[in-house]
Amino acid sequence: MKTQAQLFALIANEATPLADAWQAIQDLQTQFVERVARIAIEQRTSVAVLMDEATKQAKQPKPTTEAKQPVEPKQIVIDTDATLISTEHAAHLMGISKKSMSNYGSPSTRAAYNFPVEPQRVGGRVMWDRAAIEALVGERAATQNNA
């Protein structure tokens, strides 16, 4: 592993393709220092004060002109006649996140959590048996009520 000094020497070596990039960085640094010094002279202040002010301005949040609208929760409508429901609907019925329900749809995760309902694939979508999900929700509710 090369030290920082060795890497700088390699970059600064004019025989390497990185020499042009190194020279460009040095030129930019020189231009920056010259500009800061010129602005400090124009404003009759020190470079340190100028840099402190610039740092403070960069850290302050910019005021927004638009008022943020409150986000309303998304309404979930479940067809009462459907025998298969989407992952989003199943998660809503179970009171868990969509991501958790998606994890239960994966064979490895479902086995790890011992999730009893197996999803069905319909046209590339993961669907859940509504009756099985409702039964599972009922079992969990009954278990919580007894505890």
Q: Is 10 within 8 Å of 2 (Cβ atoms)?
A: yes
Q: Is 14's pLDDT higher than 70?
A: no
Query: Taking the mean position of all CA atoms in its chain, how far away is CA 114?
Result: 29
List pLDDT tens digits, range 44-78. 877 778 778 877 777 777 666 666 777 776 666 66
- Per-residue pLDDT tens for 104-141? 888 888 778 888 888 988 888 889 999 999 898 888 88
- State the pLDDT at residue 147: 65
First to last CA, the chain: 61
0.75 exceeded by pTM: no
pLDDT digits 0-9 by tens, 15-53: 766 667 767 777 778 888 888 888 878 888 777 787 788
- How many angstroms separate the Cα of 109 from the Cα of each of 20, 52, 99, 103, 116? 52, 52, 12, 6, 12
Give the pLDDT score at 63.
65
